[in-house]
Structure 1
Amino acid sequence: MMSITDPNMSDKFTSTMEQIHNKQLETYANIIDTTVELSQSHRQFVKSALDTCFKKCKDDEMLFETIQTFKKDLEQKNASLKEKRHVISGMITEIQEKEMQKEDIIQKIEKLKEEQTKRKDLIESQNKANKDRLRNLQKARGVFQDHLGMEIRTILGKTEQDKGKKLQFVFRNISPSNQDSAYVVTMGIKENGSYQIVSSDPALECLSVLESRLQETNNLSAFLANVRKEFISQARC
């Protein structure tokens, strides 16, 4: 065993300590290099993570803005759709009202057609009745004018509407003292085709009774004959 007093022992110890120190420095250098690399790698990771987060935030903001825009558009579309539904509902109501009016108009037209048909039938019936009365007038005119000296006159109205609506039956040969003295009955025809006695000259108290009988029998000849009898009876009193 070497003695501590060996002069070479100090050099060996110093050499060994330098080797150990160098190894430690090398180890420290490796640790520092590794730490620097890890630190740089960490900074790069953090930077990449921050960039990713920033980009994600931007994307989220854009997505949020897009969602808000879609939301506003949806609200506007819903409001527009609600307004259109209201308009459509109003149009449907208006169409239904027009359909009801159409049905009402159709019913009124049908009613008017029925009334027109009835009116036409009534006019035809009145025309037929008037023709019958005209024939009776002509027949009565022939009998009374030829045999009893009766004259038929047409009274002209003041207007075209009243023209020819009234007739005067002028009787003569009534009064024994004056055969030419005129006894007059004025009559016309109502809108419904019935006879209407207007007046008599001289006045006959029973004229209304004779008129009612004429309305019942529609026998103009008998009416004129009765009127003549009443005139004769009155003239001889």
Structure 2
Amino acid sequence: MASITDPNTSVKFSSAMEEINNKLLKTYGEIIDTTTELSQSHRNFVKSALDICIKNCEDDEIIFEKIRTLKMDLEQKSTSLKEKQHAISKVMDEIQWKEMQKDDIIQKIQKLKDEQAKRKELIESQHKENKYKLKNLQKSRLIFQNNLGMEIRKILAKTQLDKGEKLQFVFRNIKPSDHNCAYVVTMGIKDDGSYQIVSSDPVLECLPALESQLQETNNLPAFLAKVRKEFISRARC
């Protein structure tokens, strides 16, 4: 063993200490380099993770914005759909109402056609009846004109209120003292085909009753015979 007083020992010790110190410094430097490298790596990792988080947040924000846009679009489409359904319902109601109107109009048209057909049938019936009455009048005219000296005159209405043609039956050979003295009864035919006594000259009080009988029997010759009889009775009073 070397003595402490040996100068070589001090040099060796210093050399050993320096070597140890160098090793420690080298080890410390390696630790610092490793720490620095790890720190830089950690910073890079944190920065990368932060960038990824920021990007994910931005992507999430874009997705959320798209969701909000889609939600608003869906709400608008839902509102539009409800409005269209309401409009369709309104149109369907109008179509149904028009169909009801159409059916009502068709029924009214059919009713008018039926009424027109009945009116036409009534007019034709009245026309036939009037032809029959005219024939009756002609027959009565011949009988009374040839046998009793009666004259039939056709007169036209003078006013709008008094429409249609009238017939005057002029009786003669009534008054014993004056065979040419005229006794007149004026009559016409109503729209319904019935006879209408307008007047008589001179006035016969029984004329309404005779007219009523004529309406019941429709026998014009018998009516004229009764009128002539009444005129004769009045002339002899």
TM-score (norm 1): 0.93
Which whole-Å CA distance do the structure 2 matches of 1:49 and 1:41 have between them?
A: 12
> Hey, what does 2:191 align to over in structure 1?
191
> Hey, what does 1:142 align to over in structure 2?
142
Which whole-Å CA distance do the structure 2 matches of 1:163 and 1:117 have between them?
A: 25
Helix, strand or coil at the partner of 1:191: coil
Letter in 1 for 2:41: S
> Hey, what does 2:208 align to over in structure 1?
208
Deviation of 1:119 (Å): 0.8
Which whole-Å CA distance do the structure 2 matches of 1:58 and 1:162 have between them?
A: 102
Closer, same or farther in 2 for the Cα pair 1:28/1:176, shift >3 Å? Answer: same
Is the CA contact (8 Å cut-off) linking 1:187 and 1:195 kept in structure 2?
yes
> Hey, what does 2:35 align to over in structure 1?
35
Q: 1:52-107 CA deviation, whole Å, 9 max, x = no partner? A: 12222222222232223223322332332222222222211111111111111011
Helix, strand or coil at the partner of 1:167: strand
Unaligned runs of 5+ residues in structure 2 are none
Helix, strand or coil at the partner of 1:199: strand
Q: 1:178-230 CA deviation, whole Å, 9 max, x = no partner? A: 00000001111111100011111111111111111111110101100111111
Letter in 2 for 1:85: Q
Unaligned runs of 5+ residues in structure 1 are none
Is the CA contact (8 Å cut-off) linking 1:154 and 1:164 kept in structure 2?
no
> Hey, what does 1:53 align to over in structure 2?
53
Which whole-Å CA distance do the structure 1 matches of 2:119 and 2:161 have between them?
A: 21
Equivalenced residue count is: 237
Which whole-Å CA distance do the structure 1 matches of 2:103 and 2:156 have between them?
A: 48
**Counterparts in 2 of 1:4-153, with a 5 A limit?**
4-153=4-153
Which whole-Å CA distance do the structure 2 matches of 1:228 and 1:122 have between them?
A: 33
* Structure 1 segments (4+ residues) deviating >3 Å: 1-7, 159-164
Which whole-Å CA distance do the structure 2 matches of 1:145 and 1:38 have between them?
A: 153
TM-score (norm 2): 0.93
Question: Over aligned residues, Cα RMSD in angstroms?
Answer: 1.8
1:235 matched to 2:224: no
Percent identity over the alignment is: 72
